């Protein structure tokens, strides 16, 4: 199986999310693709197209949604709220982009998938908050999604 650059970006940024690290931006990842040739002492570089980075990062949201659902099943509800906040932030930023040249169809499909993933995670968090007010015993719900932010993108 051939690993594409988008899949690499998806895997790397998902790993960083799970490790509580800041997700690498395009510049950081582009630097990772520079290598020194020991014999000629020249630098070899693979160009990472910004569109490939953006599309790979967008794929990460589906993994984070699945992570939230799995966390819910295992009772780790704090992870659900962490995922919710992350997805809301990413979705809001992607909406501000508009389009990617020569990638409009792929980009719009990924935005729709990102929206669906964000909504699923928001529904999980909404239900967790509702259950916590009914006296159910859940771990600390101190990490709540910002449902009242200044961005009006249909978030609860």
Domain regions of the chain by residue span = 5-133
pTM for this model (two decimals): 0.75
**pLDDT confidence tier of residue 150, bands split at 50, 70 and 90:** low
Distance CA 25, CA 54 (A): 10
Which residues are within 8 A (CB) of 156 and not within 5 positions of it... i.e. 6 or more apart? 122, 125, 126, 145, 147
Terminus-to-terminus CA distance in the chain, angstroms?
A: 40
**pLDDT confidence tier of residue 11, bands split at 50, 70 and 90:** very high
Q: What CATH number belongs to 5-133?
A: 1.20.58.200
């Amino acid at each position: 199986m051939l690993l594409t650059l988008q899949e690499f970006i998806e895997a790397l940024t998902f790993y960083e999310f799970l490790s509580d690290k800041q997700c690498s931006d395009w510049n950081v990842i582009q630097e990772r693709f520079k290598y020194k040739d020991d014999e000629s002492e020249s630098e070899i570089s693979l160009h990472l197209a910004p569109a490939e980075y953006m599309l790979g990062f967008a794929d990460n949201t589906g993994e984070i949604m699945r992570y939230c659902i799995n966390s819910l099943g295992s009772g780790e509800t704090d992870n659900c709220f962490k995922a919710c906040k992350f997805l809301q932030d990413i979705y809001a930023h992607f909406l501000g982009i508009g389009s990617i040249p020569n990638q409009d169809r792929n980009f719009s499909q990924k935005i729709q998938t990102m929206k669906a993933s964000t909504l699923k995670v928001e529904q999980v968090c909404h239900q967790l908050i509702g259950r916590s007010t009914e006296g159910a015993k859940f771990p600390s719900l101190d990490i709540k999604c910002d449902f009242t932010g200044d961005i009006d993108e249909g978030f609860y």
